[in-house]
């Protein structure tokens, strides 16, 4: 049985926290000094690009979620 990534849930989580892509980008820079543009965040949300582990962790700490919350996992 293969495990696959399903839908990226970052957008849903971000919107539930009341943040725009620009707001999340600014929060990542303010909290961690990580510079991620809103266009890169858009690519993450659409599954066109994947964040490295450090960025993924920073996103989760900023949004108050776990890394496993960012994607649906399909079997």
Confidence of residue 73 (pLDDT cuts 50, 70, 90): confident
Eight-state DSSP code of residue 49: S
- The pLDDT tens digits for 14-38 are 999 999 999 999 999 999 999 999 9
Residue 32: both structure tokens together: 């961690």
Residue ranges of domains in the chain: 4-74
What's the whole-model pTM score?
0.89
CATH class name, domain 4-74: mainly alpha
Burial group, residue 42, by CB count within 10 angstroms (0-12, 13-18, 19+):
middle
Q: What's the pLDDT at 14?
A: 97
Burial group, residue 9, by CB count within 10 angstroms (0-12, 13-18, 19+):
middle
Alpha helices in the chain (DSSP H): 10-16, 21-32, 38-45, 53-63
């Amino acid at each position: 049985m293969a495990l696959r990534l399903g839908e990226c849930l970052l957008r849903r989580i971000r919107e539930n926290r009341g943040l725009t892509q620009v707001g999340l980008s600014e929060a990542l820079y303010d909290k961690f000094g990580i510079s991620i543009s809103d266009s890169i965040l858009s690519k993450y949300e659409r599954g066109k690009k994947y964040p490295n582990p450090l960025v993924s962790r920073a996103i989760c700490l900023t949004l108050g979620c776990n890394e496993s919350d960012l994607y649906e996992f399909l079997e």
